[in-house]
Amino acid sequence: MEKISQEITLFAEPIFHFENFTITNALLTSWVVVAILIILSLVLRSKLREVPGKLQNLFEIIIEGALSLCDQVTNSRALSIKIFPIAISVFFFILISNWLGITPLGGFGILEKGEHGLLFVPFLRGATADINTTLALATMAVLGANIFGVLSIGLWKTFNKYVNLKVLGGIFTKIREEPTIIIVAPITFFVGLIEIVGELAKVASLSFRLFGNVFAGEVLLASMAALVAYFIPIPFLFLELLVGVIQALIFSILLVVYFTIGASDHDEHESTHNASHNESGSGHNIINESIIIN
């Protein structure tokens, strides 16, 4: 009888092939998660009642709590309602993906011939334990935030966040009133260019943080199961369930933060700041004049 072993790989293992298209176990898990979310949403939609049942009541509590958490980031219920659908969808996708990777369903798979015997390849692997999935999610979050910014404040203002032509043009109109603008304006322009690099850094940090935490958890569970098959891995299993929730929550909150930043109008904030500064200056002048009169 040949020895059966399982390798822990950084990449997702292929399990099916349709001509040149390869289906990996992480991709299959993603499809399963999407199917679960669709079925769950249809079931909830069919059971909506004015007097909620237990399932509807549970999800209403979750949705209301999540929406309140979103309000703490956006400081606007109107903005939260716009961002919330994609944020909660991403949360549940990541959560279920994290949990499917550590369920007993991972015991089902196929056997392939390897160099030292048969290799076991599971049908299901945590979708977020594949860097391709987390890169796709992170890219969607960052690009989506910029598209949301275009829809919220317009293409020109979103473009000026990164290539600030307006501040360069201000050199010629404000140089008499503010001579220091000849130094400040180029610095502000190059800071905008650095923001482009920051957007790429967001993709890297989001994807590698999620991938690293989920993949490390699966490696930990596999290592513990190989050393001690019974009882000892159970506390670590519950720990990974908690980590799955935390990672999904962190990713979703960061998504809300990026979308909120994308929808913020820096010009309006600057004009408000200047107006308050001018009002403060006028107040000081009034005080000084009253002192002189007295």
* Tens of pLDDT, residues 178-211: 777 777 777 777 777 788 888 889 999 999 999 8
* Tens of pLDDT, residues 10-54: 677 777 777 788 888 888 888 989 999 999 889 888 888 877 778
67 by Cβ neighbours in 10 Å (0-12 / 13-18 / 19+) ranks as middle
Q: Which pLDDT belongs to residue 276?
A: 44
Instruction: Decide: 88 and 257 in contact? Cβ < 8 Å.
Output: no
Share of the chain above pLDDT 90, in %: 22
Q: Is the pLDDT of residue 234 over 80?
A: no
Predicted structure pTM score: 0.78
Q: Which pLDDT belongs to residue 257?
A: 93
Neighbours of 149 (CB within 10 A): 23
pLDDT confidence of 92, banded at 50, 70, 90?
A: very high
Q: Which pLDDT belongs to residue 292?
A: 40
Q: Is the pLDDT of residue 264 over 80?
A: yes
Orientation angle between helical segments 77-100 and 25-46, nearest 10 degrees: 130
Structure tokens at 92: 């549940």
Instruction: Decide: 226 and 192 in contact? Cβ < 8 Å.
Output: no
Q: Rounded to a whole number, what is the largest CA-CA distance in the chain?
A: 106
Q: Is the pLDDT of residue 244 over 70?
A: yes
Strand order in the sheet with 117-122: 4-5, 117-122, 109-114
Give the best-scoring range by mean pLDDT among 49-63, 83-97, 125-139: 83-97
Q: Which pLDDT belongs to residue 37?
A: 92
Instruction: Decide: 26 and 125 in contact? Cβ < 8 Å.
Output: yes
Instruction: Name the phi and psi angles at 126, rounded to 5.
Output: -50, 120
Q: Is 114 left (phi over 0), alpha (psi -120 to 50) or beta?
A: beta
* Residue keyed to tokens 């909506």: 48
* Tens of pLDDT, residues 97-137: 888 877 766 555 555 565 555 565 666 777 888 888 999 99
Integer distance in angstroms from the first to the last C-alpha of the chain?
Answer: 106
- CA pseudo-torsion sign 111, 210, 82, 267: negative
